[in-house]
Amino acid sequence: MGAAELILGQTLAFAGDPFTKGPAAARYERRGAVLVEGGRIAATGPADALRAAHPAARVTEMGEALLTAGFIDAHAHYPQTGIIASWGKRLIDWLNGYTFPEEARFGDAAYAAGAAGRYLDLLIGHGTTTVASFCTSHPESVDAFFEAAVARGMRVAGGKTCMDRNAPEALCDTAQRAHDESAALIARWHGRGRAVYAISPRFAPTSTPEQLDALGALWAEHPTCLVQTHLSEQEDEVEWVHDLYPEARDYLDTYERAGLLGPGAVFGHAIHLAGRERLRLKESGAAIAHCPTSNSFIGSGLFDLEGLIAEGQRVGLATDTGGGSSFSMLRTMAAAYEIAQLRGFAPHPAQLYWLATVGAARALRMERQIGNLAKGLEADLIALDLASTPAIAQRAARAGDIWEALFPTIMMGDDRAIAGVWVNGVRQGAA
Ligand code: GUN
Ligand code: ZN
């Protein structure tokens, strides 16, 4: 890595959890700075003090932009990039009609490589520096994803989507193949550079109990891997799971009895939960990826953000593209706000921003590496333009504090608000 870079702007970080401490958990500097060295954050603080202490550092002036950690998307499907915003269906028909035909193309390594590169470039353009993504059932799609991430220096999690029933033949593996192909991919990718492998049964309806057992055994052999799957997204899906798994106490139990519940397990959606499921999710240390644009786009329901967080549940924010309708974590924060409002809760901008950074990092067990502006963390940063469109600018101009200045960008912002992105300390797209 080159010499130290001192980035100047407004800065926003978190010293605690704004759901328990309120906005006072945030650390805001009107004229702040981030010192980046060797791919890490070497210091943060007031600009004048850091300039004086590091006179040899190269200075990057970001003006009025707000410097924060890069966004972290805790649940997405990169192979669905090409079918995002597909009209008119709910979950199971959407999977059969749009998703599976597209995912079937990813056995072609060149197609997968093109899609993976395009996807990660879109993410960087939207200020997302880390994602946990499903791939397809083809190992080639996993190689393409991690190779694209290595080429961009990104910390990502991903894994082969395992399915051995209720999906097209061409996308199905078996219990044994799911285990063996996942094991080979773990050996190839897990812990290589910034890559984290996520053991990825798609969801209980497309796995036999034997396949879930095989993947639970694999996780026991590789406990530093994540597990990612889907849970209780739509009501007819929950009923289907009851029919497919008559022996299970509930949907979560299909995973729990297979050894797929615990710290490092990340469950997408988790909208229609029974009391036992809420309790076990929390007790076990598992995380929920809240996917609000997906939940409204596919018509899934209203996630209980306030209640689950009050119970101590670990929650991170996620797009769930292409079920989700946006790559932007700003748009995703806005959707989380709107869904919470429909349940009578107005999350504070500090809470929304935390869910898309620190909260998502915690969901992925990466909070000691990324998700905040703090000394020693990896330097994945963004600079946000808080006046990126005339509509946002005219509202932000009336702001009395940083939260009023930030909230219009949360509600109305998109990739035009991303004025700079640093991945592992390297500015993206800079000449
Ligand atoms: N449930 C199982 N697979 C999927 C998927 O690809 N997207 C969404 N939103 N839900 C799922
Ligand atoms: Zn999903």
Give per-residue pLDDT as tens, 111-136. 999 999 999 999 999 999 999 999 99
For 239-261, the pLDDT digits (tens) are 999 999 999 999 999 999 999 99
- The set of residues, in sequence order, having a beta carbon less than 8 Å from that of 239 and lying 6+ positions away, is none
Ligand 1 center to 165 CA (angstroms): 15
The ranges of the chain annotated as CATH 3.20.20.140 are 71-363
Which residue has the least CA distance to atom 11 on ligand 1? 230
Ligand 2 center to 94 CA (angstroms): 12
The ranges of the chain annotated as CATH 2.30.40.10 are 5-70+371-427
What is the pLDDT, as a whole number, of residue 2? Answer: 59
Q: Taking residues 411-422, report their average pLDDT.
A: 98
For 290-329, the pLDDT digits (tens) are 999 999 999 999 999 999 999 999 999 999 999 999 999 9
Ligand 1 center to 99 CA (angstroms): 9
Measured from the Cα of 203, ligand 1's closest atom is 2
Ligand of minimum distance to the alpha carbon of 131: 2
What is the pLDDT, as a whole number, of residue 1? Answer: 45
Among 81, 89, 91, 325, which is best to mutate for testing ligand 1, by the most ligand atoms less than 8 A from CB? 91
Q: Is the pLDDT of residue 233 over 70?
A: yes
Write the CATH number of the domain with boundaries 5-70+371-427: 2.30.40.10
Q: Is the pLDDT of residue 95 over 50?
A: yes
Ligand 1 pocket member 378 (CB < 6 A): no
Ligand of minimum distance to the alpha carbon of 162: 1
Which residue has the least CA distance to atom 8 on ligand 1? 323
For 154-212, the pLDDT digits (tens) are 999 999 999 999 999 999 999 999 999 999 999 999 999 999 999 999 999 999 999 99
Ligand of minimum distance to the alpha carbon of 93: 1
Among 81, 202, 297, which is best to mutate for testing ligand 1, by the most ligand atoms less than 8 A from CB? 202
Q: Taking residues 390-400, report their average pLDDT.
A: 98
Ligand 2 center to 297 CA (angstroms): 13
CATH of 71-363, one of 3.40.718.10, 3.40.50.10680, 3.20.20.140, 3.40.50.300: 3.20.20.140
Ligand 1 pocket member 75 (CB < 6 A): no
What is the pLDDT, as a whole number, of residue 193? Answer: 93
Whole-number Å distance between alpha carbons of 218 and 221? 5
Among 203, 229, 290, which is best to mutate for testing ligand 1, by the most ligand atoms less than 8 A from CB? 203
Measured from the Cα of 300, ligand 1's closest atom is 9
For all residues of the chain together, what is the average pLDDT?
98
Ligand 1 center to 427 CA (angstroms): 33
Ligand 1 pocket member 295 (CB < 6 A): no
What is the pLDDT, as a whole number, of residue 232? Answer: 98
Q: Is the pLDDT of residue 430 over 80?
A: no
Ligand 1 pocket member 332 (CB < 6 A): no
Complex prediction ipTM: 0.99
Ligand 1 center to 20 CA (angstroms): 31
Which residue has the least CA distance to atom 3 on ligand 1? 202
Considering the entire predicted model, what is its pTM? 0.98
